[in-house]
Amino acid sequence: MAATLTELLLDRAHSAVVSMDEQGVVTYWNPSAERIFGRSSDEAVGRAMVDLIVPARFRDAHLAGVRHFLATGDGPALDRRIEMAALRRDGSEFPAEITLSALHDGPGWTFHAFVRDISDRKHAEQENERLVRELRRALHWSERRFDAIVGSLSDPVTIRDREHRFVYANRAAVVQLGFDSWEALRDTSPDAVMADYLVFDAHGRPVSMDDIPSVRILRGEPADPLLIHTIHRHTGERRWQLLKSAPLLDLSGAVEATIMIIEDVTERTRAELAATFLARAGEVLASSLDYEQTLRNVAELAVPDIADWCSVDLVDEQGERRSVAVAHGDPARLALVERLRAARGDRPGPARGMAQVLATGEPVLYSEVTEDMLRAAASDDEELALLGELGFRSGMIVPMRLGDRVLGVMTLVGAESGRVLDAFDLRLAQQVAARAAVAIENSRLYSERSAVAHTLQQSLLPERLPQIPGYELATIYAPALQSTEVGGDFYDAWAVDGAWMIVIGDVTGKGVQAAALTSLVRHSLRAASEFESRPARLLAHVDRALKKQHTLSICTALCLRLQADRVTMAVGGHPLPLALTPDGVRQVGASGPLLGGFPDVEWDDLAFAIEPGTTLVTYTDGITDAVGADGSRYGLARLCRALEQCTELAAEPVVARLDHAVEEFRAGDGRADDIAVLALHRSGRHDP
């Protein structure tokens, strides 16, 4: 469900969002992609992305880049804004800004491209360049004319000379940098202006004055546009700005000064980052039915993308609160939380905030966590000191709500980074919390169904195996993993007049139908054994019962009657048992037809003796059908080789070693089919 909600969000994105698989085939094409590229989703999905949006002259480079990433894991173009030409349906090209990301999706990779048509921006940049050329001439002509041209620009513009002093700033720059007048800015050094901010690049790395494009140009270096993320140290205000700089030359052609245009891209960048974060959160929430581990992963994902701290608390039906996750990038800071927990017993935060959210189901935002709020939250001076050491600056608490039910809360805090959480962050956190609530509920429903299936499955197996004189019985039963359905494998053993009946089988299907058939087969065998001693006739009795069902109902079964050292056995479409003797491992008997599948069939009894020290291993095909990492089946040959190491063992260690061998071979976290094994070991001669 999380993936569906993510697509609903991306369907409303202003940017084109295109996803492709490792083969380059389009798997998602949002409405904005339809508008920008002129192709409908039905036309695009299933086709090669390179043929749809990449001009022919760039296709070889694109394909080579994808092959390089799949081979090495290195993608220098990933998670960066790249400007390049893109192709419309009518064959026309347009300038586009593309951000390409790769997400690991199960066994492979999925690539997601966020594409913006920047035709209007390119036109505006060309206009700005024209104005810059005008102002270069104006520097030699008239300061008044120069200010009239540059002062009309809505983007902030500054000029600094070779001594790194501001010699000009338009009104937009004065306001943007937080000054009341040009004179006040002129009298402040660029270093002092930058000191008021924490500055990072697009990847979160600190940016120094030496990295600023205008400064690089003054050093004689080339300087591409630079995207920076700034946090004002005093207000916590965050902005994303694109810095573009060019040299101003004197009459001799030497660099006399540099002009820098500061384009505010905050709104656009935050929207793109939010879309990317929600897509990643959706992937995490849909990746596992272990909701506690999933919530821990989401908390770690939120740091530092949304906040410096993230904690998740769940509440049960009795109102008891339980912490499931606390995330921070610095382990030393997490140690402070543990100290605070030991002192107070719950999560730190603004006073009464969490209780309020749990009671009302409404989020709370603390744009500023004041000293008074911390004092109210602390019960003594020790707690107050710890809260102060944690450095809370702002915070928010959002409910994980499903309808009217509040399942828990997510608490996000801005601290040492200096960031101040705002309404945009709150909306983003609410969307994540809503998806987390759905993931929790899905996990709960899955757990309930699994518990019901387990209980029903156990009711279809004997509570305990009988004690057969002179023999040892051992079994394993392993249902298919990650399934909430009842399986069809079964085994049973019970006493009859002067002997013992042992059966193992597998009915078709899963769920309630399989449970009903399993119950029918077991009870039919037990009931018929009261008046019929031959296994072949017992199978015939079950065959008639299955054919009376309204739908096709088939079953494999192996039935044997054990009396002293003599075994009489009949097999209906089931894997033949394996006899483990000092001479090795061999199959015993011959198979007969499936039960319930064919008209006018019959089964034969086979009688043989079971010698002391012999182990008879019966099993269902979940063993031989287990799939390994290379895609091959476990098969009968591997099974025999594994059992050849067990010829001198009793029943219990035989089934234990077999279970271990199959688990080592099996690939992945899922078991495709149920597994049942029943081993019968003759430990000595039976004394009747």
Determine the pLDDT at residue 652.
Answer: 92
pLDDT in the model for residue 346: 46
Are residues 427 and 301 part of one domain? Answer: yes
Q: 668 lies in a domain?
A: yes
Of 269, 302, 321, which residue is a domain's last? Answer: 269
Instruction: Give the CATH number for residue 361.
Output: 3.30.450.40
Asked if the structure places residue 12 within a domain, the reply is: no
Instruction: Tell me how far apart the terminal alpha carbons of the chain are, to the nearest angstrom.
Output: 62
pLDDT score at 569: 96
Domain membership flag for residue 277: no
pLDDT digits (tens, 9 = 90+) for 524-533: 888 888 888 8
Q: Are 569 and 534 in contact (CB under 8 A)?
A: no
> What CATH number has the domain bearing residue 34?
3.30.450.20
- Residue 162 and residue 125 share a domain: yes
Q: Which element (helix H / strand E) includes 431?
A: helix 423-459
Final residue belonging to a domain, choices 208, 236, 269: 269
Q: How many domains does the chain have?
A: 4
Q: Is 60 left (phi over 0), alpha (psi -120 to 50) or beta?
A: alpha
Interatomic CA distance for residues 138 and 153, integer angstroms: 15
Tell me if 501 is assigned to some domain: yes
Residues 130, 245 within the same domain: yes
Tell whether 532 and 641 lie within a shared domain: yes
* Domain shared by 217 and 319, yes or no: no
Asked whether residue 507 is domain-assigned, the answer is yes
Strand segments, DSSP code E, in 195-283 are 197-201, 226-232, 238-249, 255-264
Mention every residue, 6+ apart, whose C-beta is less than 8 A from residue 29.
Answer: 18, 19, 39, 40, 41, 44, 45
Q: Which domain holds residue 84?
A: 17-117
Name the residue among 132, 133, 55 with its Cα closest to residue 94.
55
* Assigned domain for 219 exists: yes
Q: For the domain that residue 556 is a member of, what is the CATH number?
A: 3.60.40.10
Q: Is 176 left (phi over 0), alpha (psi -120 to 50) or beta?
A: alpha
Which one of 452, 478, 507 terminates a domain?
452
Residues 128 and 109 in one domain: no
In a shared domain, residues 476 and 419: no
Cβ-based neighbour number of residue 643 at 10 Å = 22
**113 burial type by CB count under 10 A (0-12 exposed, 13-18 middle, 19+ buried):** buried
Is 279 part of any domain? no
Sign of torsion over alpha carbons 581, 582, 585, 589: negative
Q: Rounded to whole angstroms, what are the CA distances from 338 to 54, 326, 346?
A: 53, 10, 10
pLDDT at 394: 87
Distances (CA, A) of 377 to 39, 317, 353, 410, 562: 57, 26, 10, 18, 74
Are 486 and 632 within one domain?
Answer: yes
**Same domain as 126, residue 104:** no
Query: In terms of domains, do 183 and 207 share one?
Result: yes
Query: Measured between alpha carbons, how far is 420 from 424 in angstroms, rounded to an integer?
Result: 11
Q: Are 675 and 662 in contact (CB under 8 A)?
A: yes
Report how far residue 367's alpha carbon sits from residue 365's, in angstroms, rounded to the nearest whole number. Answer: 6
> Which regions in the chain score pLDDT beneath 70?
1-9, 105, 128, 131-153, 341-352, 445-461, 480-487, 510-512, 667-672, 684-688
Q: 325 forms bridges with which residues in the sheet?
A: 312
Whether the pTM exceeds 0.95: the reply is no
Residues 394, 354 share a domain: yes
Which residues have a Cβ under 8 Å from the Cβ of 510 and sit 6 or more positions away? 483, 485, 486, 487, 488
Residues 465, 410 share a domain: no
Task: Kindly report each contact of residues 164-168 with a partner whose C-beta sits within 8 Å and lies 24 or more positions away, as own/partner.
Answer: 164/189, 164/190, 164/191, 164/215, 164/218, 165/189, 165/190, 166/190, 167/257
Note whether residue 377 is domain-resident: yes
**Half-sphere exposure (CA, 13 Å, Cβ side) for 542?**
36
Q: Dihedrals φ, ψ of 187, to 5°?
A: -85, 5
